Amino acid sequence: MKQILKRTILALTSMLLLVGCASGGTEPAQTDASDAASDTTTEAVTEAPLIPAVPPSDAQIADHEPVLLWPEDNIPYLIENDEKGLMPTIRAYLCDGADSAVVIFPGGGYFQLSDVSEGVDIAKAYNDAGYSAFVVNYRYEPYDGRAILADGQRAVQYVRYFAEDFGIDPDKIALCGFSAGGHLSVMVAEHPVTENLVGDVIGEIRSTPDACILAYPVTTLGEGTFETMPRIFLGENLGNAEETAKYSYPHAIDTMPPTFVFYSVKDQFVNFEANSIAFADAMTAAGRDVTIAAYEDGGHGIGLGTQYNDYSRWHADSAAFLKNHGF
C-alpha cells in the first residue's frame, strides 16, 4: 500500500508540474543558440502505479482451492492452445497458531507433477507438525525454465505478500522441493527476482526463501542430472555450457539459505552422489549452513514414505531442522 501511495503521489506531482509549465509562463520562448545549447532540462517521466492484488477468500483457503499465482489476463510466458491446459496455482493449508510456512514444489522431472504424494500429503504432514503449508502447481513441459522458474519465484512472493492474511511471519518461509521440485527450490533461492513481470504489488516482494528442504533432489542440469530436465528447462539453450552452469547449484551457492537435504541410498533414478552429496559438499565449502541425511531404505518419488522404517524419519528430521533455525 505504501508503494502504491508513493507512486501515486509521484505521478500527481509530475502532472501538476507539467500543467504549471504549460499554462503558468508568459515569457517568450528563448531562441538564443547558446541558451538552447546549455538547456539540459529533460521531460519528467512518470511511473504507472502498481496493480493491486486480492488475497484468496476464506472459502478458498478453507477448501484448499487452487488459486492462480498470476493475474488471469497476464500470465507470463503463457503458451496459447496448450493441450495440457497448465495453469500455475497455489493451494493454502493453514495451521492455527503457526507463524511459519513451508511452500511445497512437487516433483515430476519437469514433464509431470506428483502433486498428491509430493504435495497435498506433505502439506498435511507439516500442518500436523505445526506449520502452515502451500502446494504449488508450477508449469512444466511444454513450458521451459523461464515459466517454471517464474512460477517458483512468484509462489514465494505470493505467500510473503499475503503473510499477514495467512497469519505467518514473512521472514519464516521455507521451500520444500521433491526431485525436480528440489532443483526448482535451489534455483529460486539462487535467482532473486530482478524484474516485475506483470507490474503488480506482489512482483515487488522478495522472492528468495529463508530455508530449503530438498527431498532426493536434482540440483544440477550438468553431469549426473535427471535425463528429461535439461531438455525441458533449458529449451533452445540445451547444450549451452553457460546456461547449464547458470541453472546448476554452483551458480550462486554462497547465497543459499540454511538447507536440509536428504536422499535414500536405494534411489535408482537420481544420482545422489552428483546431486545431494555434491550440493551439500559445495555448501560446506562455501561456509553455508547445510544438514544432509541418508536413509537406508526407501527409494525415489515416494513422498512421506511411511511404509519404510528409516526413510520415514525424514519428515520429523526436517521439522526439527526448521525448529532449530527459528521456524
Fold (topology level) of 58-324: Rossmann fold (3.40.50)
HEC readout, 188-255? HHHCCCCCCCCCECHHHCCCCCCEEEEECCCCCCCCCCCCCHHHHHHHHHCCCHHHHHHCCHHHHHHH
188-239 pLDDT tens trace: 999 999 999 999 999 999 999 999 999 999 999 999 999 999 999 999 999 9
Which range, of 17-26, 62-71, 270-279, 291-300, averages the lowest pLDDT? Answer: 17-26
Torsion angle, CA of 205/315/275/173, rounded to 10 degrees? 10
CA-closest candidate to residue 217, choices 174, 252, 186, 253: 186
B/e letters for 183-197, b = 16+ CB within 10 Å, e = fewer, are bbbbbbbbbebeeeb
For the chain, give the percent of residues with pLDDT over 70.
Answer: 86
All structural domains of the chain with their residue ranges: 2-38, 58-324
- The whole-number pLDDT of residue 247 equals 98
159 pLDDT band, cuts 50/70/90, is very high
7 pLDDT band, cuts 50/70/90, is very low
Averaged pLDDT score across all residues of the chain: 89
Beta strands in 270-311 (DSSP E): 290-295
CA–CA distance, 234 with 296 (Å, rounded to integer): 33
In degrees rounded to 5, what are phi and psi of residue 270? -115, 130
| Whether residue 5 has pLDDT greater than 50 | no
| Whether residue 18 has pLDDT greater than 70 | no
Average pLDDT rounded to a whole number, residues 108-131 = 98
